[in-house]
Amino acid sequence: MLADFLAGSQAAFERLVQRHSDDLFRFVGRFIRSAAAAEDVVQETFVQVFQSASGFDLSRRFRPWLYTIAANKARDHLRSKVRKKELPLSPAGGSDDAEGASYLDFLSDDSSPPEAAMEVEETRKRVGEVVSRMPDNLREVLLLGYFQRFAYKEIADILSIPLGTVKSRLHAAVAHFAEQYKRLEKEEGRSIQR
């Protein structure tokens, strides 16, 4: 499709956006934890793709290049957020406001059976809470590896880090996640017993 776009087909670019925007939104949303900001970052990503497409090597895969741009835009957003000291869109207790979507909104899965819905929702909340508290460098590699299912080499290309660093960060991310998940389960268990 990118080749068709470079050959002059605007419809091909629209198909690229349609094909990749939902997955890209989920990735960015999980990474920066803001639905409104994720929309902006995804839009900026596709603008960058539109502007830089002529410099892309068509012998390479498109998806890792797209996610590299998105990851860089997301990191830029997080850096600017730290500088501006923005407040989150949704309060800690949650919000029904569509603009106040939380990280947990990106983990929804409508395919679970009705009898397990409550347990699935509790697990989803714990996972979302743990992932949202992870350091950025561990969270991004975990999201790319487990949620977006990129290969190690692709993650290395996307993040512009050595393959060994991807492996060690992913190992550290999984260990960090497991430790924090167990801690959260214990804390919830103690609060229920009280």
pLDDT in tens, 65-89: 999 999 989 888 888 876 654 444 4
**Who contacts 23 (Cβ-Cβ below 8 Å, separation ≥6)?**
148
Within the chain, all domains assigned CATH 1.10.10.10 are found at: 113-194
**pLDDT band for position 192 (cuts 50, 70, 90):** low
Question: Residue 126's pLDDT is what?
Answer: 81
* Residue-level pLDDT at 184: 84
Query: Confidence class of residue 176 from pLDDT cuts 50, 70 and 90?
Result: very high
pLDDT at 103 over 70: no
* N-term to C-term CA, the chain: 58
Instruction: Please answer whether residues 161 and 144 qualify as being in contact, where contact means their C-beta atoms are separated by less than 8 angstroms.
Output: no
Quote the distance between the C-alpha of residue 118 and its chain's center.
24
What is 113-194's CATH topology?
Answer: Arc Repressor Mutant, subunit A (1.10.10)
Would you say residue 47 has pLDDT above 50? yes
Residue with the bigger pLDDT between 187 and 65: it is 65
Give the CA distances from residue 89 to residues 21, 103, 123, 125, 176, in Å, rounded to whole numbers and listed in that order: 22, 11, 23, 18, 26
Cite the residue boundaries of each domain of the chain with CATH code 1.10.1740.10: 1-87
Please state which of the four CATH numbers 3.10.20.30, 3.40.50.720, 1.10.1740.10, 1.10.357.10 is assigned to the domain occupying 1-87.
1.10.1740.10
Q: Which residue has the tokens 């609060």?
A: 191
Q: What's the pLDDT score for residue 114?
A: 52
Whole-number Å distance between alpha carbons of 164 and 150: 15
CA 41 – CA 70 distance, rounded (Å) = 7
Half-sphere exposure of 123 (CA within 13 A, CB side): 8
The pLDDT of 36-42, averaged and rounded, is: 90
pTM of the full predicted structure? 0.58
